[in-house]
Amino acid sequence: MHHRGQGRRRLTYLREEQARKAKRQVIFKRAEQYVNEYKKAEREEIRLKRQAKANGDFYVPAQPKVYFVMRIKGINNIAPKPRKILQLLRLLQINNGVFVKVTKATSEMLLRVEPYITYGEPNLKTVRELIYKRGYGKVNKQRIPLSSNQIIEESLGKYGIISIEDVVHEIVTAGPHFKQVSNFLWPFKLSNPLGGSRPRKFKQFIEGGELGKREHFINDLVRKAN
């Protein structure tokens, strides 16, 4: 009986090990596919820029799919409507940041809270660095560091998202499960990107301030704050 029990345990262990190995291969293969996909998109953008230049046109980039939104002002004396929007965005503290899918509704929401936020289109490098360096998941209402793919699989596996690179890909591409992934990610806690000593300029970014839409310049800000 003892030997039979040992044999069963051994068989179970081997099966689990096989399953783990197969999963590692899937994760590796997907990561490779993502790299190829990102490179292809980059090459296509370079081609379109060159084509526009050759034709004497201005290059008009595609509309952004995702914004990174960062709270940079105001805790006190906020009117109820903007306060509600900031709560919906989960931007409860200064220097908190979240990924938001760009839609007509979210764009209108962001306009209403522009006096308290800055936002723009994050590139792949920014998304990846934020998730790897500052990424925490919401597991049973707890803030858990993304220290292993297992944490991701347990929360998002039902959507086919089983690794940290799957999370990055879903955010970058504004994939079909963007909402679930974004809600799983705890709001990012960043440091003050403008330095403690320098007074913040609470004017619009286009007027030389810090507030509102800053397009691709959000990447520079995140780099300083990450």
Of 165 and 21, the one with more pLDDT:
165
Q: What is the mean pLDDT of residues 157-184?
A: 96
C-alpha 129/C-alpha 168 separation (Å) is 10
How high is the mean pLDDT of the chain? 87
pLDDT at 205: 62
pLDDT at 24: 85
Q: Enumerate residues 6+ apart whose C-beta is below 8 A from 39.
A: none
Q: What is the mean pLDDT of residues 119-133?
A: 95
pLDDT at 144: 95
Q: Out of 129-133, 140-144, 192-196, which region has the weakest mean confidence (pLDDT)?
A: 192-196
Q: What is the pLDDT of residues 71-91, one digit of tens each?
A: 988 777 888 999 999 999 999
pLDDT at 168: 97
pLDDT at 2: 55
C-alpha 151/C-alpha 153 separation (Å) is 6
**226: burial class by Cβ within 10 Å (0-12, 13-18, 19+)?**
middle
Which domains are assigned to the chain?
1-62 (no CATH), 66-225 (3.30.1390.20)
Transcribe 28-79 into DSSP letters: HHHHHHHHHHHHHHHHHHHHHHHHHHHTTPPP-PPPPSEEEEEE-S-SSS--
**Residue pair 71/86 in contact by the 8 Å Cβ criterion:** yes
Ramachandran sector of residue 149 (left: φ over 0; alpha: ψ -120 to 50; beta: rest): alpha
C-alpha 89/C-alpha 215 separation (Å) is 19
Of 210 and 58, the one with more pLDDT:
58
C-alpha 119/C-alpha 186 separation (Å) is 18
For helices 124-134 and 218-225, what crossing angle results, to 10°? 20
> Residue 213: beta bridge partners?
119
pLDDT at 198: 47
